[in-house]
């Protein structure tokens, strides 16, 4: 009935998988849990113990294949008709997490997104404060608010039937962090496959330092430029705010000013993001300026 699929990279997820296995076992359904390690740079010995849990597999890849390709590989390995994709840096928030998804397994033409949560109290270590604040404000969104956004697909916690997944797959040209879920969401919309949003979130446990998180978001802007090469601007702008704003900047002939602005402002903004009061507005400006800079270098928009 249900294949629970978890790609991992440099993270210990034995406790998370144990909780999932316990819930699945008590639900009375046919299930499997497949955890696939994308050639982690670090060894987490606890992860190998996943293979000792009932109906669980642990697969180590000999080389890193990237965020999209590993999800596709997991789907190809799965035996059941419904696929529950979960990120590894997570913690179960509800004892009904698995059962809440089971009720949707009768619908073959729907994608169900459960959402994401962050701890209510900020981390003691200031290095992780920016990631926590961004996630708490921008990513920890209720199901009702995600419905209003209409295009809010997140790949960290979603259920999809095999039939739907095989119509789309994740784009394997996306290997770095960022926006592989944007392309997946666009494909769902183009094929008229509805997204159902429910409050069935997982806690995100993989907080990263401001340095790492800023770098990953620059990578995501680079991915966005690559996506823009092959995606209609109007379609992409509907799904990504920074593209919408960049198109407005183009219309008022200010794209080069914003591109130049990154060189002037990036060090000032980075200092703020690493400080005690990181500004999400300044981070938006940072991403917009960087997007305009690399877009102007590589494309004409």
Q: Which domains does the chain have, with CATH numbers?
A: 2-208 (3.90.550.10), 212-298 (no CATH)
Mean pLDDT of 142-157: 83
The average confidence (pLDDT) of the chain is 89
Asked whether residue 128 carries a pLDDT value surpassing 80, the answer given is yes
Neighbours of 276 (CB within 10 A): 7
Asked whether residue 301 carries a pLDDT value surpassing 60, the answer given is no
What is the DSSP secondary-structure string of 11-51? ---HHHHHHHHHHHHHHT--EEEEEEE---SS--HHHHGGG
CA distance 260 to 277: 26
pLDDT grade for 60, boundaries at 50, 70 and 90: very high
Both tokens of 116, joined, read 């994401």
Mean pLDDT of 260-264: 84
- What is the reported pTM? 0.90
Mean pLDDT of 274-296: 90
User: What's the pLDDT at 151?
Assistant: 61
Mean pLDDT of 244-272: 84
User: What's the pLDDT at 111?
Assistant: 93
Mean pLDDT of 167-187: 83
Closest CA to 36 of 70, 67, 13: 70
Asked whether residue 150 carries a pLDDT value surpassing 70, the answer given is no
Q: Which of 13-17, 183-187, 258-262 has the highest mean pLDDT?
A: 13-17
């Amino acid at each position: 009935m249900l294949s629970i699929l978890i790609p991992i990279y440099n993270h210990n997820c034995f406790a998370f998988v144990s909780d999932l296995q316990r819930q699945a076992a008590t639900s009375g359904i046919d299930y499997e849990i497949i955890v696939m390690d994308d050639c982690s740079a670090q060894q987490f010995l606890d992860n190998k113990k996943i293979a000792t849990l009932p109906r669980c597999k642990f697969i180590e890849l000999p080389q890193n294949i990237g965020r999209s390709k590993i999800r596709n590989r997991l789907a190809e390995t799965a035996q059941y008709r419904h696929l529950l994709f979960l990120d590894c840096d997570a913690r179960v928030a509800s004892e009904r997490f698995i059962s809440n998804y089971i009720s949707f397994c009768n619908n073959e033409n729907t994608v169900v997104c459960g959402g994401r949560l962050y701890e209510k109290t900020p981390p003691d270590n200031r290095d992780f404060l920016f990631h926590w604040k961004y996630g708490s404000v921008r990513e920890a969104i209720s199901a009702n608010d995600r419905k209003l956004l209409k295009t809010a697909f997140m790949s960290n916690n979603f259920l999809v039937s095999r039939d739907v997944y095989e119509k789309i797959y994740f784009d394997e040209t996306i290997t770095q962090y960022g926006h592989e879920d944007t392309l997946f969401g666009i494909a769902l919309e183009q094929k008229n496959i509805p997204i159902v949003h429910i409050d069935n979130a997982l806690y995100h446990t993989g907080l990263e330092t401001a340095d790492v998180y800023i770098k990953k978001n620059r990578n995501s802007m680079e991915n966005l430029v690559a996506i823009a090469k092959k995606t209609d601007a109007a379609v992409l702008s509907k799904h990504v705010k920074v593209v919408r704003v960049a198109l407005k900047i183009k219309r008022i002939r200010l794209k080069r000013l914003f591109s130049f602005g990154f060189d002037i402002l990036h060090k000032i903004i980075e200092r703020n993001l690493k400080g005690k009061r990181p500004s999400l507005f300044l981070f938006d400006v940072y991403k917009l300026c960087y997007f305009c800079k690399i877009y102007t270098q590589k494309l004409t928009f």
